[in-house]
Amino acid sequence: MNNICIRHALRTGIAGSIGCSIYLFIYQSHCIWIVISALLLCQTHTTGNFINLFKHAIDRIIATGIGVFLGMLGYTLIFLNVNDSNKEIIPLICLFIFIISDSILQLTEGLNIITITAAIIMLVSIQEDSAIPMALARSMDIITGSAIGIIVSLIIPAKKVG
C-alpha cells in the first residue's frame, strides 16, 4: 500500500470513528447520518485539492436542504390530503416529489442526495408523525458529519502537502 492509500484509509477511519462517538453519545437513531456524511465526504475526496473538498461539503448540505424542503412539502401534502380511506394517493404524492427532486438533480449534477433526503423526510415522518423534528435532525446530522469530514481531511490530507 502506498502512502496516499494509507493516509486516505486513516483519514476515513478517524472521521467515521469520530462520527460513531457522537452517535453513541447522543444515541438517537437519526444520528447515523453523522457517520455516513463524514465517511462519504472523506471517501469521495481523494485529492489534496481543498476547494473540491469544501465544494463537495457545501453541495451535500445544499442537497440536504433541498431534499428536506421537498420532503416537508410531500409530508404536508400527505398530511393534508390523506386519510384512512384514501391512502392509495401516497404513492402519487411521492411520485410527484421524486419527479421534482430528480429534475433538480439532473440540473445540478452534483446534488445527488436530494431524492433520498426527500424520501427519508416524507416516509419516516409519516411513520413517526414528526416532520419538523426529522427535518431539523437530518440537516444537523449532515452539517455535523460534513464538518467532521472537512476537519479530518484538513488534518490528514490525502496527499502530503508541501
Each residue's pLDDT expressed in tens, for the chain with a length of 162 residues? 677 788 888 888 999 999 999 988 887 777 788 888 888 888 776 655 778 788 888 888 888 888 889 999 998 898 888 888 888 898 999 899 989 988 888 887 666 778 888 888 888 777 777 778 888 888 899 899 999 998 998 888 766 554
**Three cell numbers at 44?**
469521495
- Per-residue pLDDT, 64: 86
Q: Tell me, yes or no, whether 19 lies in a domain.
A: yes
Angle at 61 between CA 98 and CA 44, to 5 degrees: 95
Cα(104)–Cα(124) distance, integer angstroms: 22
The pTM is what? 0.76
- pLDDT for residue 45: 60
Q: What is the pLDDT of residue 92?
A: 92
Counting the structural domains of the chain, the total is 1
3-state secondary structure of 1: coil
Q: Is residue 147 domain-resident?
A: yes
- Which amino acid is it at 15? A
Identify the pLDDT of residue 147.
92
Look at residues 23, 116, 112, 107 and name the one whose alpha carbon lies nearest to residue 60. 112
DSSP code for 109? S
Helices 32-44, 131-155: axis angle to 10 degrees equals: 40
Range of the domain at 20: 3-155
Closest to 7 in 3D by CA, of 57, 48, 51, 62: 48
pLDDT for res 17: 93
Residue 161 lies in a domain: no
Using one digit for the tens of pLDDT, what is the confidence trace for 62-90? 888 888 899 999 988 988 888 888 888 98
Judged by DSSP in three states, 154 sits in helix
Question: Is 133 inside any structural domain?
Answer: yes
Please report whether residue 22 resides in a domain: yes
pLDDT reported for residue 101: 87
For residue 107, what pLDDT is reported? 81
Whose grid coordinates read 401534502? 77
Judge whether 149 lies within some domain.
yes
pLDDT on residue 159: 67
Residue 28 lies in a domain: yes
